[in-house]
Structure 1
Amino acid sequence: MKRTYINITLILISLVISLVLAVTHFTGLRKVEIEPNRAPPILIGQSDEEDILAIKQYKTPSKAKNITISSLSEENQTEVMLLARLIHAEAGNQPYEGKIAVANVVLNRVKSPDFPNTIKDVIFQKGQFTPVANKKINNTPTEEDIKAAKEALEGVVVLEDALYFENSKNKNNWIKKNREFITRIGEHNFYR
């Protein structure tokens, strides 16, 4: 008798899980933005693969948040401020997750053999970032921009392998033809 109840319970659990997955798949849930310091939602993509990828990409922010700019070495202060200025110029009006994603693009390029190997050289590589050309890179970043730069440098990752981004309103055919779309955060599309 107990085995029958256990078997029925397992069957019911399997049916509920299957139903949830089917509803999720067919309703086409959209990715929701992950707020800083919060765990990702369980169902965020349009498929199981998207959900798994998004959860793998999310990393809990570092606990060492109270590092002040003045406590960093001079070289690290320069990197934080340069990255913060780029974040401010490129993503100043974007959600916090988007600010970290822009920083992730720069740091991913530093790691890539296809780009220069320092933050400064990546940011100032000719033709890569509009704010360098139009001098908006020189604008003063906000505290939130600086925090996003510090967190990215401390290892917070929103997008692990993104190497490019663009404003979603741009009609850049090159990037769409030559790069794989990853996701959209705020008004930016990210590509690998």
Structure 2
Amino acid sequence: MLPVAFAAGAALVTALAAGVNARSSPRLDMDRTAEAVAEAAGGRYDLMGLAGVMSRLDGAQLALALRHDPAMGASSLPGLTPGWGNLRLGGRPDPFAVATGLEALRLNAAEAGESVVAAAPPFRFQPAGADDRRRALRCLTQAVYYEAALEPDDGQLAVAQVVLNRVRDPNYPNSICGVVYQGAERNTGCQFTFTCDGALARSPTTWGWSRAQKVAERALAGEVAKPVGSATHYHADYVRPWWAPSLTKVSQVGAHIFYRWKGAAGTVAALTHSYSGREPVIDEALFARPRDVVTAALGYEPMLDKSAELVRDLLGTGNRTVEFEGTTKIVGAPSLGGRRQPTAKEISDINERLKAFEEGRPVPSPAPTPED
């Protein structure tokens, strides 16, 4: 649901822009307001629609709307540099702080992408053997599924493109599994959070996995996601990592914003690494154990901040529809990507273990989790 302040501001801006005179029509003002908001939102009432409404506001209107928006609280005060709350005495933003929600949407929308994007060349997939082919397809499918299960096809293909761009970037491993699982063996360096947050412990949905695998197969067959060009990084549009300004924004596809390195290092010509053809064997049981991933924010990673997922739910995105093979599926974010809501018994067990830890008593072992 759109905040009332944004709705009122959008109605004012669109009405003035269209030269509407309320006194020349018998329609109620609320009808005009509803039409203006719907037009600004492009008929959408999710975060993308809200971004459309925000784009119609000038600085004064936006500041007024934010001041009266209960979702923002006092986090955005007039006259202060965006991100002021994350600055340390040394002047460097806190690497653990990520702007989320409406503030992140505003900051992301204010930064323009590239007007001309040079598409990356098709990926030359020449695995050394059948096992390498199977491993590569599985790793790429995992990246697409756990990072973009609820994205449209072009959004999923864009995520696959980032993985393949990294394979060809000299700064990263030259295998697909190597790129996807880079840093996952450490507590502080995973590049894709699903490799170290425990998501792999949950079985993916059959239809969601099949959809992601089809996209991965297309990418390995040479299909290119042209809008993301040579991008090697991305983040969700409802978060604003502190590192974003240090890269060049390329474009937004679905809910993800894509970036490349600044200068010559981020051009298509810099993708000079040759694919090794050999894929490492991944111990998925090891990487299915959740670990501390907070300090992964120190690097330039395409990770999704988990607190931001909660923010997105709180902002009202709720269930989403996904098209797959002619069928429209209505799903909620926790139902994909191997995540689910805890049961009452699990919550009770967690609280009991926390209490035992705080009191210095032996911590009881967790009960086995039920299978989906």
- Coarse TM-score class (shorter-chain normalised): 0.5 to 0.7
Instruction: Give RMSD over aligned pairs.
Output: 2.3
Question: Is the contact between residue 179 and residue 191 of structure 1 (CA under 8 Å) also seen in structure 2?
Answer: yes
Tell me the distance in 2 between the aligned counterparts of 1:58 and 1:124.
22
Distance across 2 between alignment mates of 1:144 and 1:182: 26
8 A Cα contact 2:144 2:160, kept in partner: yes
Tell me how far 1:137 sits from its aligned partner: 4.2
Change over 3 Å in CA distance of 1:125–1:135 after alignment to 2: same
TM-score of the aligned structures, taking structure 1 as reference length: 0.61
Structure 1 equivalent of residue 157 of structure 2: 100
Kindly indicate whether residue 256 of structure 2 is the aligned counterpart of residue 183 of structure 1: no
Find the counterpart in structure 2 of residue 57 from structure 1.
Answer: 119
Same amino acid, percent of matched pairs: 29
Query: Please, which of 138, 142, 146 is the counterpart of residue 89 of structure 1?
Result: 146
Match of 1:120, SS state, is helix
**Hey, what's the Cα distance between the residues in 2 that align with 1:76 and 1:137?**
21
Flag the 1:93–1:82 CA change in 2: closer, same or farther, 3 A. Answer: same
Specify the code of the residue in structure 1 equivalent to 2:197.
Answer: N
The structure-2 alpha-carbon separation of the partners of 1:181 and 1:144, relative to structure 1 and needing over 3 Å to count, comes to same
Partner residue, 1:172: 241
**How far does residue 74 in structure 1 lie from its aligned partner after superposition?**
2.4
Runs of 4+ in 1 over 4 A off after TM superposition: none
What amino acid is the match of 2:178? D
Match of 1:133 in 2: 196
How many residues are treated as equivalent by the alignment?
A: 129
SS of corresponding position for 1:57: coil
Give unmatched runs, 5+ long, in structure 2: 1-113, 123-128, 184-189, 261-372
**Is residue 110 from structure 1 mapped to residue 177 from structure 2 by the alignment?**
no
Q: Is the 8 A contact 2:151 2:254 kept in 1?
A: yes
Of residues 178, 191, 199 in structure 2, which corresponds to 1:121? 178
Shift in Å, 1:169 = 1.1
Q: Distance in 2 between matches of 1:188 and 1:100?
A: 12
**What's the secondary structure of 1:142's corresponding residue?**
helix
Q: Please report the TM-score for the alignment, with normalisation by the length of structure 2.
A: 0.32
Q: Once the two structures are superposed, what CA deviation does each residue of 1:11-56 show, in whole Å capped at 9, x if it has no partner?
A: xxxxxxxxxxxxxxxxxxxxxxxxxxxxxxxxxxxxxx83xx35x6
Question: Who is 1:14 aligned against?
Answer: none
Pick from 218, 225, 245 the counterpart of residue 151 of structure 1: 218
Kept in 2: contact 1:79–1:120 (CA 8 A): yes
- Which entry has the higher C-alpha Rg, 1 or 2? 2
> Are the structure 2 counterparts of residues 125 and 58 from structure 1 closer, same or farther at C-alpha, using a change threshold of 3 Å?
closer
Q: Residues 107 and 119 of structure 1 are in contact (CA less than 8 Å); yes or no, is this contact kept in structure 2?
A: yes
C-alpha contact 2:119 2:230 (8 A) present in aligned 1: no
1:112 to partner: Cα distance: 0.5
Quote the Cα distance in structure 2 between the aligned partners of 1:88 and 1:76. 18
Report the Cα offset of residue 91 of structure 1. 0.2
